[in-house]
Amino acid sequence: MDSLSINDHLKLQPISRSFSKEIFTHFSSDIVRYLLVEKPPEAITDTEAFIDLSVSQLKKGTDIVWVILHQQEFIGCCGIHNIPSRKPHFGLWIKKEAQGRGFGSSVTEYCMKWAVKTLDIDYIRYPVDIHNKPSIAVIEKLTPTIHGSYKMGEGKVLEVNEYRLYRE
Q: Write the CATH number for 108.
A: 3.40.630.30
pLDDT for 17 equals 98
- Could you give the angle at which helices 133-140 and 103-118 cross, rounded to 10 degrees? 50
71 secondary structure, DSSP code: T
Distance CA 134, CA 33 (A): 13
Full residue range of the structural domain in which residue 152 is found: 4-166
Say how many CA atoms lie within 13 Å of 151 toward its Cβ.
5
What are φ and ψ of residue 152, in 5° steps?
-130, 135
Write down the pTM of the prediction. 0.93
* Reported confidence tier of residue 29, pLDDT bands at 50, 70, 90: confident
Query: Are the beta carbons of 163 and 123 closer than 8 angstroms?
Result: no
Q: How many domains does the chain have?
A: 1
Residue 153 has pLDDT above 90, yes or no: no
Q: 3-class DSSP state for residue 63?
A: coil
Segment (H or E) for 111: helix 103-118
Residue 48 has pLDDT above 90, yes or no: yes
Query: Are the beta carbons of 157 and 151 closer than 8 angstroms?
Result: yes
